[in-house]
Amino acid sequence: MNDANTMRAISQDVLGGPEVLREVRVGRPAPRPNEVLVRVRAAGVNPTDWKHRATGGFLGEPPFVLGWDLSGEVAETGIGVAAFKPGDEVFGMLPYPFGHGSHAEYVTVPARALTHKPASIDHVQAGALPLVSLTAWQALTEYADVRPGQRVLVHAAAGGLGHVAVQIAKARGAYVIGTASAGKHDFLREIGVDEPIDYRSTDVTEAVRDVDVVLDTLGGETSVRSLRVLRPGGIVVSVLPVGPPEFYEEAERLGVRAVRMLVEADRAGMEAVAELVESGKLKATIAGTFPLADAAKAHDLGDTSRTTGKLVLLVD
Ligand SMILES: NC(=O)c1ccc[n+]([C@@H]2O[C@H](COP(=O)([O-])OP(=O)(O)OC[C@H]3O[C@@H](n4cnc5c(N)ncnc54)[C@H](OP(=O)(O)O)[C@@H]3O)[C@@H](O)[C@H]2O)c1
């Protein structure tokens, strides 16, 4: 294989800590019908990356290349792709969970998972946004249908997912309650949180009531306890796909709704995200950027669960 047919990628042969990640050269994929080959310029790193690195998750045994977020340029289009041409700047999320592989120089993507990158943002922003924004968009608009004046509680509002969910809920006209440790409350106010709550000193599930929508990013007991803060007919959307069965039983008993979801790749959702970006209503806070070769450092930081905003890999 000569260099033109290969690319750099972050791979792993075993499950484990960040140290199992290594840069390798692998064959460059070719786009199949309805696919686009993207030259990746930036790619977000998400909790699902470090969870899959450690446990294999939905993917099973390595070797595999992680990464679902991407922003970059179209290098080549497969048969049938009319929406994009080589050179177009695009961003999106690979089909979750089985379409992974953006922590690499190139990746093939179903054209339907992409949209044009707004010219007003750089690849770092565009690479940070897709997975968390689509998750928040699907949770808050498709499952919960947040409307103006509703009360929305976002757990872990300073995290990658939480901080975009806050902005999307505000863009829908909601009153937003958000949890974070006290040192992050100025940040929460800056992104639009109306009522920051320190989860270390206050049990938010005791402290707030009459909530229409909870975005549960913590899972476990928090999912179940969050049902209590809802108004009749309110909804907890949990992004932890597995959890206690009482979640559904308790929701039925209380006359509220309980949903667990996994994000799905979707161009319509990405177009909504692009519109929010263009109208100045959605912006990622960048917790740190790392060259592709330093992916392990990004995982190290992510593993702490203390970052504010998003970690992003830069692919030169
Ligand atoms: N189902 C799906 O499709 C889907 C999609 C996206 C994300 N997720 C899941 O959603 C979760 C959050 O993702 P993320 O990207 O936001 O993670 P993240 O960026 O790693 O979250 C870090 C933030 O969590 C906060 N935090 C930690 N423990 C907390 C607690 N007990 N209460 C309130 N805040 C707390 C931290 O704030 P402090 O420093 O103040 O503690 C920190 O700012 C992950 O488990 C992820 O896998 C699921």
Ligand 1 centroid–CA 167 distance in Å is 16
Q: Whole-model pTM?
A: 0.98
Percentage of the chain surpassing pLDDT 90? 98
Q: Which atom of ligand 1 is nearest to the CA of 158?
A: 43
Give the chain's largest Cα–Cα span: 63
158: which 2 tokens? Answer: 């300073």
Q: Calculate the average pLDDT of the chain.
A: 97
Q: Which amino acid is at 209?
A: R
Q: If pLDDT is split at 50, 70 and 90, which confidence band does 3 have? A: confident
Q: If pLDDT is split at 50, 70 and 90, which confidence band does 147 have? A: very high
Q: Which amino acid is at 64?
A: F
> Ligand 1 atom 26: the closest Cα is on which residue?
156
Cα separation of the two ends of the chain? 21
Q: What is the pLDDT of residues 281-292, one digit of tens each?
A: 999 999 999 999
Question: How many beta carbons lie within 10 A of that of residue 49, not counting itself?
Answer: 28
Pairing of strands 69-77, 89-93: antiparallel
284: which 2 tokens? Answer: 């990622």
Would the pLDDT of 114 be above 90? Answer: yes
Percentage of the chain surpassing pLDDT 70? 99
Counting ligand 1 atoms within 8 A of each CB, the residue from 186, 205, 225, 305 with the most, and so the one to mutate, is: 305
Q: Which atom of ligand 1 is nearest to the CA of 260?
A: 1
Q: Sign (positive/negative) of CA torsion 38, 43, 213, 51? A: positive
**Averaged pLDDT, 257-283:** 98
> Ligand 1 atom 42: the closest Cα is on which residue?
306
Q: What is the pLDDT of residues 201-252, one digit of tens each?
A: 999 999 999 999 999 999 999 999 999 999 999 999 999 989 999 999 999 9
275-281: long-range contacts, CB 8 A cutoff, minimum separation 24: 276/133, 276/167, 276/168, 276/171, 277/118, 277/120, 277/121, 277/125, 277/129, 278/118, 278/120, 281/167, 281/170, 281/171
Ligand 1 centroid–CA 163 distance in Å is 10
Q: What is the pLDDT of residues 125-138, one digit of tens each?
A: 999 999 999 999 99
User: Ligand 1 — pocket residues by CB below 6 A?
Assistant: 46-48, 131-132, 135, 155-156, 158-162, 179-181, 184, 199, 217-218, 239, 241, 261-263, 302, 305-308
Instruction: Report pLDDT for 4.
Output: 80
Q: If pLDDT is split at 50, 70 and 90, which confidence band does 300 have? A: very high
Pairing of strands 230-238, 211-216: parallel
3-state secondary structure the chain: CCHHHEEEEEEECCCCCHHHCEEEEEECCCCCCCEEEEEEEEEEECHHHHHHHHHCHHHCCCCEECCCEEEEEEEEECCCCCCCCCCCEEEEECCCCCCCCCCECEEEEEHHHEEECCCCCCHHHHHHCHHHHHHHHHHHHHHCCCCCCCEEEECCCCCHHHHHHHHHHHHCCCEEEEEECHHHHHHHHHCCCCEEEECCCCCHHHHCCCEEEEEECCCCHHHHHHHHHEEEEEEEEECCCCCCCHHHHHHHHHCCEEEECCCCCCHHHHHHHHHHHHCCCCCCCEEEEEEHHHHHHHHHHHCCCCCCCEEEEECC
Instruction: Report pLDDT for 279.
Output: 98
Instruction: Report pLDDT for 1.
Output: 55
Q: Which atom of ligand 1 is nearest to the CA of 183?
A: 40
